Structure formats: C-alpha cells, structure tokens
Amino acid sequence: MKKQSTTIASIVILIIIAIFALLNTATVVVNFFGAQVKMPLVLLIFICLLIGAIIIYLLSFSNHLKTSRQLKELQSSRVSKDELKKSQKKVEQLQKENTQLKQQLKNQTTAEKIQDPSAN
C-alpha cells in the first residue's frame, strides 16, 4: 500500500512539474562560473530536476549501503541454536546453584543463631 501511494504521489508531482515547465518556455541566460549559456527555461528546469534526483539517489544509496552493512554484521553475529541451547542450560544450572547456595547460607545463618543465641 505504501509503495502504491508513493508511486501515485510521484506521478502527481511529475505532472505538476511538466505543466510548470511547459508554461515557462522562454529563453533565459544562465551564468555558470563565468560562462553564459542561453537555453529554454523548460530545459533548465529539467536539468535542475535531474541534478536533484541524482543527489537524492546518491544519498539514498549511501543509506542503503549503511543498512546493508549493518544487516550483514547482525547476521554474522547471530548465535546458533546449539549455542543458544547451551547458554540456556548453563543459565538454568547457575540459577539452581544460586538457589542452593542461598538455601545453604540461610541454613548456616539459622544454625549459627541456634548455637549462639546471645549474638542477637
């Protein structure tokens, strides 16, 4: 849907530019770094439009390259399913060990309190 609306908007903009260019057919003098060139205004408008489109394309292309590079980095750094399962098992083991150690510490503290009730 987004692509269709972008296409329709592009067509409308192109039609507006074409009408604008056809209404401005007078010959103009263009000064470009000391050189003077006479050309129809419609040609100047299309040249400027083409330069703008090229600039937008180059900026978009550089953004595309950056995104592509980031995607490749993410894909290369992905963890395999086996590594993920091993890591999950290790986490579960460490959680069990942590629970056991907490229980041992609690039992040890309780035993110390029973042996030395005057410590409180």
- Residuewise pLDDT in 10s, the chain (120 residues): 678 888 899 899 889 888 887 787 788 898 888 889 898 888 888 888 899 989 998 888 888 888 888 888 877 777 777 888 888 999 999 999 999 999 999 888 887 777 766 655
* pTM of the predicted structure, to 2 decimals: 0.45
What kind and span of H or E run contains 119? Answer: none
Instruction: Name the phi and psi angles at 109, rounded to 5.
Output: -65, -40
Measured torsion, CA atoms of residues 80, 82, 88, 89, in degrees rounded to the nearest 10: -160
